[in-house]
Amino acid sequence: MDPQRVARPHRPGPSLAALVKTLLAAALLVGAGYLLARYFDRQEQTEVATSDVDRLVVALRENRNRLQVYRLSGTVTTKRRTSGGIGDILTGEMTVKQPWALAYFVDMGDLGLDDYVWDERTRTLLVHAPAARPERPNIDESRQVVAYRGPLITRDMQTRLRQGVAIGAGQQATAEAAKPENLAAAGAAARKAIAHNLQAPLQAAGLGNVTVVVRAREGARGGGQWDVSRSIADVLAERAGR
């Protein structure tokens, strides 16, 4: 035996089972890291969407003003006849021409969260708006043009004639405001006014550029891509149920 050569101890290499366990552990770590990253990514997306909805709720609940959207005016001529005196022997007639005006309003407080649909992908807010409602007409009696007919009109007859004229003028102005063409014009103006009115609170809530689409509540769910969209109230209810 060569004295220069010294026997070295035998060191066994890693077994196949140990190698498999190491590879499995590494695979599990990689898989867990991937799933964890996906989870946090989904959480981040959910938080962004939720924060948008929350900001929308704040903006929409604070905007509860009564909004004037349209004005209508015109001139009405009203004629009334009455009798008076002893045995109602006297007859008198009164014709009055006078201007009138009224405003149409939308009460933003009438809108609930179920009237709003939020499309996160296009950043569009759909509003199901109520109809614009006309207020009582204002009859401008200071600019009346009055004509009487009759041999003698007593003070009592004048009182009755003026009362009848006032009632008739209000009825005519109200009927004019209720005509379909005037209601349609008020509705179109209301949709523009509501969209403009919502922009300021949406910006203040930090939502950035949002497209506001306003439709009449009566036909808002009648067709199109919005049929399957959920209102903000639906989103909040689903989130609360989780």
Cβ-contact 59, 75 below 8 angstroms? no
CA 208 centroid distance within chain? 18
Q: Tokens standing for 1?
A: 């035996």
As a whole number of angstroms, the distance between CA 131 and CA 105 comes to 9
Coil/strand/helix, residue 22: helix
Domain ranges of the chain: 44-241
Cα–Cα distance measured from residue 114 to residue 233, given in angstroms and rounded to the nearest whole number: 5
Residues forming beta bridges with residue 119, ordered by sequence position? 124
Maximal C-alpha separation, the chain: 162
pLDDT tens-digit readout, 122-160: 999 999 999 999 999 999 999 999 998 988 888 999 999
Q: What is the per-residue pLDDT across 60-114, written as a single tens digit (0 to 9) for each?
A: 887 788 999 999 999 999 999 998 888 888 899 999 999 999 999 999 989 999 9
Amino acid at 22: T
Q: Quote the pTM value.
A: 0.69
Sequence-ordered alpha helix ranges (H) in the chain: 16-62, 155-177, 180-204, 232-241
Model confidence over 176-231: pLDDT tens digits? 999 999 999 999 999 999 999 999 899 888 888 899 999 988 654 444 454 456 78
Decide if 156 contacts 100 (C-beta within 8 A): no
